[in-house]
């Protein structure tokens, strides 16, 4: 599972699942690019945790929904490290509402960050990966992509799109030793779920055979496996990390 010398770009790495992924990859000796959109302080906190494992952390602000910002970010990474081995498309937002009440700008915002952002980032890293004839792209989807969820039609559509995107890229670039996989978390204890009422949490737990909400480290472990050499013959797949909820 050692990733010594590899360079990983993790989008949306300032908190939650993204932070845990960044720290876990650093623990395996990967240098980590900590991407964030809004909170510089939170991103620096992630970077400090990464550096605690004796590897390098490069903090870069970039809105993944903007191709120019993404291209500039990847250029900075190449200037600093000369390579990009792993891309984790984790950046995501929610703008929940029932469809009749959902504003078009909320639909577009979720699509542009959660789905189009992955397109921007994957497109930007493919050139150095193709040149190196190896790479790992891991897209963070959601069980909502598989089962749907009331009030989240935009989020579910974007995350389902990531699965189709994953499978298509896996077929396009498998011959170049670039694997593309997705991880679909269930209900994970992050800032996004912290505001749920006790009643809502109890209802969610009743649907999870393991009887607990997941933690970001559960997702990070799956990402770390897919990023490593032991997953070199796995591509185009979705690993569901949900405690059995979507069986």
Tokens of 166: 């994953």
CA-closest candidate to residue 112, choices 92, 98, 87, 96 = 92
Nearest-angstrom CA–CA distance, 161 and 174: 20
Q: Is residue 69 part of a domain?
A: yes
Give the angle 119-157-243 at the CA atoms, nearest 5°. Answer: 100
Tokens of 60: 């870069």
CB 90 within 8 A of CB 138: no
Determine whether 155 is an active site residue: yes
Catalytic residue among 119, 155, 187, 233: 155
Residue 144 is part of a domain; what is its CATH number?
3.40.50.720
pLDDT per residue rounded down to tens, the chain (247 residues): 799 989 999 999 999 999 999 999 999 999 999 999 999 999 999 999 999 999 999 999 999 999 999 999 999 999 999 999 999 999 999 999 999 999 999 999 999 999 999 999 999 999 999 999 999 999 999 999 999 988 999 999 999 999 999 999 999 999 999 999 999 999 998 776 666 667 877 888 888 999 988 999 999 999 999 999 999 999 999 999 999 998 8
Q: Is residue 247 part of a domain?
A: no
pTM here is 0.95
Q: Is residue 215 part of a domain?
A: yes
Q: Is residue 24 part of a domain?
A: yes
Domain limits for position 171: 7-241
Nearest-angstrom CA–CA distance, 124 and 116: 12
Distance of CA 81 to the CA centre of its chain: 21
Q: How many domains does the chain have?
A: 1
Q: Is residue 132 part of a domain?
A: yes
């Amino acid at each position: 599972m050692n990733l010594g010398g590899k360079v990983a770009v993790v989008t949306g790495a300032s908190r939650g699942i993204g932070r845990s992924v960044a720290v876990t990859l650093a623990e395996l000796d990967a240098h980590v690019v900590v991407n964030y959109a809004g909170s510089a302080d939170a991103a620096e906190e992630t970077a400090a945790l990464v550096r605690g494992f004796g590897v390098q952390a490069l903090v870069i602000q970039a809105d993944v929904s903007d191709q120019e910002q993404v291209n500039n970010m990847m250029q900075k990474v190449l200037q600093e490290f000369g390579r990009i081995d792993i891309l984790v498309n984790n950046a995501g937002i929610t703008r929940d509402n029932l469809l009749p009440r959902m504003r078009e700008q909320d639909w577009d915002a979720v699509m542009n960050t959660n789905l189009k952002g992955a397109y921007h980032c994957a497109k930007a890293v493919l050139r150095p990966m193709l040149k190196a004839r190896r790479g790992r792209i891991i897209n963070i989807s959601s069980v909502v992509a598989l089962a749907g969820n009331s009030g989240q039609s935009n989020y579910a559509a974007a995350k389902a799109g990531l699965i189709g995107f994953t499978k298509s890229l896996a077929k396009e670039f498998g011959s170049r030793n670039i694997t593309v996989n997705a991880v679909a978390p269930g209900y994970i204890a992050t800032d996004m779920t912290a505001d749920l009422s006790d009643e809502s949490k109890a209802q969610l737990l009743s649907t999870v055979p393991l009887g607990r909400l997941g933690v970001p480290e559960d997702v990070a472990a799956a990402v770390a496996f897919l990023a490593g050499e032991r997953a070199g013959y796995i591509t185009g797949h979705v690993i569901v990390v949900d405690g059995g909820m979507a069986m």
